[in-house]
Chain A
């Protein structure tokens, strides 16, 4: 656990100093909103359409973060250091997933208000509690799968391509639940509460894949 915290602190500090990943993700998200405005040809959107647009934007912005997650480890020998050190290897999984989760949350802290400003019809305030729950649960799933997929992709030749190609289908159940779940809070005529079944699907997805990732991650780190 201490190792995980140490690696997490390292990654967060690195991000704070270099500002490589999160600003790019946020900028990508806002630009995507602009494109959607012109692509959809509507003044405002709400309900299922809004939820879908938000899901897709968060997903593709998240992909930028996923692609970069293990790059420093690979380029500067972090993997070897981890293998040599007498630590539990899954702490790398914990640390990286936590880092990715943090990046996603920060991304959403910027993107969701931007979304409310640029595209959303109904006011964001009453939508926030339901939306926040859905987004947090979905972020957990994206973080777990993203870390796993990134760890696989970093050792392949087509690094930036393999990650999204493998990761997107794996994330589809979580994304379906996220898009369907977020539709109710973003409804045009007053925010409704998120249907419980989508939260259950997200929770189930998170638990199953977190356990799976924990079980298989070791095998990805062997030399």
Chain B
């Protein structure tokens, strides 16, 4: 454990090494966020389609009840 505590001969000095580590983790986060964005776009499209469907069904329900009223002699 003690042998590992301080870097004896690091591949890069600490201040430049940090950039690469940050870069790697940023790539990971970016991929995740891109995925979230794609799913969000799909979800909004799904919601829009669902709303349209709901409206159509609502319209038909009203038509049916309207027709029922007409048939009442």
- A–B contact via C-beta, under 8 angstroms: no
